[in-house]
């Protein structure tokens, strides 16, 4: 009779378990500081233009446009044009400046700072890599004064 031996599971099985149940094959979520650092790194004009175009594609691919409008009347979510650098009043009563770090937080951790007059209705985008969030912000910046800025953000 074959003896039942207790061997450790083979490596591929271990990795599958790890990936399925713990998500340890995924990189940790991006931080707002990483996003701001990417946006403040000097890049050639062509790369900045490519980033804005990628941001536009990501904006539609991630369904941002299902809730937000860039211009015109808002439909249950804030209008995303002309908000960059302006103060935001949150449901907590706190006022924060909409700088790049705030925009990054709004995308990566949208439930933490909810704009007054709205609910925690925004989808969670914790999974987006820092480069994607930077591209989304670069795209949104083209709708905020000064238009099409390429200068590093200076508060």
Contact footprint for ligand HEC (CB under 6 A) = 62-64, 66-68, 77-78, 80, 83, 88, 98, 103, 106-107, 110, 114-115, 118, 121-123, 125, 136
- Shortest distance in whole angstroms from residue 94 CB to ligand HEC: 12
- Shortest distance in whole angstroms from residue 128 CB to ligand HEC: 7
- Measure the CA–CA gap between 127 and 116, rounded to whole angstroms: 25
Q: Which is nearer to ligand HEC, 13 or 61 (CB)?
A: 61
Q: Which is nearer to ligand HEC, 107 or 138 (CB)?
A: 107
CB distance 117 to 141 below 8 Å: no
Look-up of token digits 């009779």: 1
Residues in the chain: 155
CB distance 105 to 113 below 8 Å: yes
Q: Which is nearer to ligand HEC, 19 or 87 (CB)?
A: 87
Nearest CA to 77 among 64, 88, 59, 86?
64
Q: Which is nearer to ligand HEC, 66 or 150 (CB)?
A: 66
CB 90: neighbour CB atoms within 10 A? 14
Phi-psi group of 74: left, alpha or beta (phi > 0 → left; psi -120 to 50 → alpha; rest → beta): beta
* Tokens describing residue 149: 């800025």
- Shortest distance in whole angstroms from residue 73 CB to ligand HEC: 14
- Shortest distance in whole angstroms from residue 101 CB to ligand HEC: 12
Nearest CA to 127 among 38, 35, 54, 29?
29
Q: Which is nearer to ligand HEC, 119 or 150 (CB)?
A: 119
- Shortest distance in whole angstroms from residue 51 CB to ligand HEC: 14
């Amino acid at each position: 009779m074959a003896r039942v031996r207790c061997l450790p599971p083979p490596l591929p099985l271990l990795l599958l378990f790890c990936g399925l149940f713990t998500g340890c094959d995924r990189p940790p979520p991006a931080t707002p500081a990483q996003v701001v650092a990417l946006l403040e790194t000097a890049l050639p004009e062509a790369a900045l233009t490519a980033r804005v175009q990628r941001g536009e594609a990501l904006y539609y691919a991630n369904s941002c446009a299902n809730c937000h409008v860039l211009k015109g009347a808002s439909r249950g979510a804030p209008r995303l044009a002309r908000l960059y650098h302006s103060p935001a009043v949150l449901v907590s009563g706190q006022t924060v400046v909409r700088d790049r770090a705030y925009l990054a937080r709004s995308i990566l951790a949208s439930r933490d700072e909810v704009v007054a007059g709205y609910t925690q209705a925004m989808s969670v985008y914790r999974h987006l890599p820092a480069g994607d969030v930077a591209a989304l912000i670069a795209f949104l910046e083209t709708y905020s004064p000064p238009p099409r800025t390429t200068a590093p953000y200076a508060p």
